Amino acid sequence: MFLLRGLKSSIIIAPWRSAVRTLKVAVVGAGGGIGQPLSLLIRRCPGVDELALHDLSETKGIAADLSHVSQRGKVVGFTGEEGLEPALTAADVVVVAAGMPRLPGMQRDDLMAANGRVAIKVATAVSKASPGALLAFITNPINMIVPTAAAVLKAHGNYDPRRLFGVTTLDVVRSKKFIGDSMNISPDEVTIPVIGGHAGITILPLISQCQPVFKGGSKETQSLTHRIQEAGTEVVNAKAGKGSATLSMAFAGAHFVGSLLRGLGGQEGVVECAFVASELTNAPFLVSPLELGRDGIQRYLPLPQMSDSEKGALEKLLPILRQNAEEGIQFAKNYLKEKSASPVPAALP
């Protein structure tokens, strides 16, 4: 039986009872709609000795504001492209919320054109300033951003697949909420793995593996699955073109960072789903359950059991993930060719 441990707000807003080593967390995009609440929630994570905030616009005010929170540790703001490497220097965890939000009718290629460059710049800066950091991307489109970052890290000789993550925790958060509401129970009582990718039909909540057992029929299961897959569009439409999911994403992102910190601190049994390099299927990157530890991914857990319909859905999404990975890697190759007269290393993934 698969259990997704945690995902309760107490991880974010209440102190841990066990001691953890002090760590530095850097938030890239700290001034944005996700970045500010994300930084606040991370500020409340015990064990964070330094919180570095970076954005292209001024972050000193945000840093000063957060420095008044009654929590141990310091908060430092960094601004502009010249401030990126100093912000990331000696970071243990780098979480990236920078980039353009998805707007109504926006095509994936349009979003990638803007945000792919963000991923490349951050991955390059991490390679120089904090090569041992755990690097977690919130920036969309995750299905392409993570392969892009992997290619850049590999080109710089700093690619460790156990340290690179696409944060898909919001899909789990939404699944727990929607299923909990449907079953008239607290979302905190729900555990469910969500595998695949982080867009549309690539998001695959395994409702057959939900605990407590979901007793709805196939029609209700299909309806819930569709809502989880299209929940991002639901928020984009509700905001009438003025943004995408920010607060719920900050909540989910802070939870994932909290889990990374618990793993770094030596806590055992920390399990999350995330988009990572994978050998579980024929897609090179996949959301799957992972056990986190001192080096990032401590153990790749096997895919949970699936119903026949879920197996069919997985087969349909894998070609999309393969194509997304190829496009992300090609994006990185093209960018690196533009920026350098020297050949792009043949060893790109």
**If you write DSSP's letter for every residue of 85-133 in order, what string do you get?**
HHHHTT-SEEEE--SPPP-TT--HHHHHHHHHHHHHHHHHHHHHH-TT-
Catalytic positions? 198
State whether residue 78 is helix, strand or coil: strand
According to DSSP, the residues that pair with 95 across neighbouring strands are 27, 136
* Sign (positive or negative) of CA dihedral 146, 32, 39, 256: negative
DSSP annotation of 261: H
- β-pairing, 194-196 vs 270-277, is unpaired
Residue recorded with tokens 């003025």: 242
**Closest by Cα among 185, 209, 190 to 288:** 209
Where do the domains of the chain lie, and which CATH numbers do they carry?
15-168 (3.40.50.720), 170-321 (3.90.110.10)
What's the sign of the alpha-carbon dihedral 159, 200, 205, 30? positive
CA distance 30 to 38: 8
The tens-digit pLDDT sequence of the chain (349 residues) is 444 544 443 333 333 334 446 899 999 999 999 999 999 999 999 889 999 999 999 999 999 999 999 999 999 999 999 999 999 999 999 999 999 877 666 677 788 988 999 999 999 999 999 999 999 999 999 999 999 999 999 999 999 999 999 999 999 999 999 999 999 999 999 999 999 999 999 999 999 999 999 999 999 999 999 999 999 999 989 998 788 899 999 999 999 999 999 999 999 999 999 999 999 999 999 999 999 999 999 999 999 999 999 999 999 999 999 999 999 999 999 988 887 755 555 555 4
The answer to whether 262 touches 270, Cβ cutoff 8 Å, is: yes
Residue 26 contacts residue 91 (beta carbons within 8 Å): yes
